[in-house]
């Protein structure tokens, strides 16, 4: 499995360097990019907007064609988008670069999750999904921190050239090292194989699975429950829609509302406490803490869902922790803010990892790409509308009430999950 995870994860992490750097430095380097401050919001948001329309077709493409033939080119498209940031100035070239990045990220993120679900045995699906999430967090953190440092040292354009080259390097690693994981239909009893680069075949990294035993299973206590789901169309798969909705809620709150308002929360606290430190510095530290905790939470939650009471039960704990965290942030004291950041980070990493693993559990292999595309579309939609919703409500109800509403949204999601978990006894 490591032979798949390393090139897949490295390619994913390196592809994020340019995007994360742009979020960090573009608001303060508009002159080098050749745009006005008014255009920053459009440039930083257009890639998410385009993914709402591309994730679905990307998932459909992954269901129909070989994974490598889509994933590897997506990495090189990502390198091209970062090269456009480096080589051009002005709103429209940067706009085109961001459109290309949205296309590339749909191919990378949908494809990466699909490949992991292909390769991981059902009883280890949560663990490997969580480990893949670590690469996502590493790429975002390195881009934000390293991009900021390199931009201060070398400048905006040289930094983008360096990260474009590193993204292309990730594409080369995937081209030479990533095996094909899309399996053709096999006769019962035959050993599963994963086709690698060229025509070479290597054994599948997971436990041997025959076609008769290829249906996803959900881990419950120390046993696995077989479920025939390949014949259920996505449109009628209510359990899948619940997992998709949870991903949307998670991204709406964590990547939308909190990411857009954390600076305001820090500013309010520092003004009340008469602290001299820079708001950006404190906010950056808190964002780094969130990333670190999410990195830890994702694989831990996935592994627990494989080994203990199942994914829905662990998901319920993640949502409960998230609700508590949002309530703590609304308290607006230093200790409560740190506790709230800790709780929401654990919740965010857990829910994101478990939603992906559940998607693999709840659909057959033939529909896996489309289901992942749907999952990420819900996440992109939530993260896209979160900031706007927060700033619309702020003048009317204030930041504390916005956070309490998010806590209520987590609790509402928890009620649905507990109802499902009780019904399924998972």
**Angstrom distance (rounded) from CA 60 to CA 370:** 5
Verify that 170 and 268 share a domain, yes or no. no
pLDDT of residue 277: 56
Residue 331, token pair as written in the block: 């308290």
Res. 326: pLDDT tops 60: yes
- pLDDT tens per residue, range 166-201: 999 999 999 999 999 876 433 333 333 333 343 333
Verify that 374 and 296 share a domain, yes or no. yes
Verify that 152 and 292 share a domain, yes or no. no
Asked, for residue 396, whether it belongs to a domain, the answer is yes
Residue, of 98 and 426, whose pLDDT is higher: 98
Verify that 71 and 149 share a domain, yes or no. yes
Asked, for residue 401, whether it belongs to a domain, the answer is yes
Verify that 170 and 255 share a domain, yes or no. no
Verify that 7 and 132 share a domain, yes or no. yes
Verify that 255 and 135 share a domain, yes or no. no
Verify that 149 and 248 share a domain, yes or no. no
Mean pLDDT for 306-321 is 86
Q: Which domain holds residue 335?
A: 234-424
Asked, for residue 389, whether it belongs to a domain, the answer is yes
Asked, for residue 325, whether it belongs to a domain, the answer is yes
Res. 147: pLDDT tops 90: no
Asked, for residue 50, whether it belongs to a domain, the answer is yes
Q: Domain boundary at 177, 195, 225, which?
A: 177
Residue 285, token pair as written in the block: 């530290």
**Angstrom distance (rounded) from CA 243 to CA 199:** 37
Please, are residues 6 and 176 in contact by the beta-carbon 8 Å criterion?
no
The contacts of residue 235 (CB under 8 Å, 6+ apart) are none
Asked, for residue 220, whether it belongs to a domain, the answer is no
Asked, for residue 251, whether it belongs to a domain, the answer is yes
Residue 309: which pLDDT band, with cuts at 50, 70 and 90? low
Verify that 119 and 23 share a domain, yes or no. yes
Residue 425: which pLDDT band, with cuts at 50, 70 and 90? low
**Overall domain count for the chain:** 2
Verify that 283 and 355 share a domain, yes or no. yes
Verify that 265 and 395 share a domain, yes or no. yes
Q: Domain boundary at 130, 151, 177, which?
A: 177
Asked, for residue 273, whether it belongs to a domain, the answer is yes
**Angstrom distance (rounded) from CA 399 to CA 259:** 13
Verify that 170 and 240 share a domain, yes or no. no
| CATH code, domain with 170 | 1.20.1250.20
- Identify which of 335, 254, 334, 240 has the alpha carbon closest to the alpha carbon of residue 293: 254
Mean pLDDT for 239-267 is 85
Q: Domain boundary at 177, 208, 243, which?
A: 177
């Amino acid at each position: 499995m490591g032979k798949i995870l390393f090139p897949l994860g490295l390619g994913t992490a390196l592809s994020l360097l340019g995007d994360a750097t742009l979020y960090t430095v573009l608001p303060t380097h508009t002159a080098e990019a050749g745009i006005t401050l008014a255009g920053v919001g459009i440039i930083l948001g257009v890639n998410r907007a385009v993914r709402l329309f591309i994730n679905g077709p990307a998932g459909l493409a992954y269901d129909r064609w070989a994974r490598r033939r889509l994933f590897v080119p997506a990495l090189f498209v990502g390198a091209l988008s970062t090269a456009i940031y480096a080589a051009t100035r002005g709103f429209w070239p940067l706009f085109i670069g961001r459109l290309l990045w949205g296309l590339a990220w749909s191919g990378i993120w949908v494809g990466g999750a699909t490949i992991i679900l292909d390769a991981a045995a059902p009883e280890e699906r949560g663990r490997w999904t969580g480990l893949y999430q670590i690469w996502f967090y590493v790429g975002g953190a390195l881009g934000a921190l390293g991009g900021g440092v390199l931009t201060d040292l070398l400048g905006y354009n040289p930094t983008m050239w360096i990260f474009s080259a590193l993204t292309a390097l990730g594409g080369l690693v995937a081209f030479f090292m990533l095996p094909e994981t899309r399996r053709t239909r096999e006769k019962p009893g035959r050993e599963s194989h994963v086709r690698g680069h060229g025509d070479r075949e290597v054994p599948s990294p997971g436990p041997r699975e025959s076609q008769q035993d290829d249906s996803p299973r959900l881990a419950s206590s120390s046993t696995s429950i077989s479920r025939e789901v390949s014949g259920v169309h996505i449109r009628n798969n209510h359990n899948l829609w619940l997992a998709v909705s949870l991903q949307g809620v998670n991204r709406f709150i964590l990547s939308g509302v909190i990411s857009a308002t954390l600076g305001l929360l820090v500013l309010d606290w520092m003004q009340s406490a008469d602290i001299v430190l820079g708001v950006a510095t404190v906010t950056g530290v808190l964002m780094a803490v969130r990333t670190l905790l999410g990195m830890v939470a994702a694989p831990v939650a996935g592994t627990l869902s494989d080994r203990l009471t199942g994914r829905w039960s662990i998901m319920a704990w993640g949502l409960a922790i998230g609700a508590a965290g949002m309530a703590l942030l609304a308290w607006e004291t230093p200790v409560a803010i740190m506790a709230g950041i800790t709780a929401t980070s654990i919740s965010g990493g857990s829910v994101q990892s478990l939603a992906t693993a559940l998607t693999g559990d709840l659909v057959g292999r033939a529909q896996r790409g489309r289901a992942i595309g749907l999952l990420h579309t819900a996440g992109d939609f939530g993260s896209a509308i979160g900031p706007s919703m927060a700033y619309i409500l702020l003048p009317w109800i204030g930041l504390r009430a916005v956070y309490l509403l998010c806590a209520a949204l987590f609790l509402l999601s928890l009620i649905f999950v507990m109802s499902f978990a009780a019904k399924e006894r998972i």
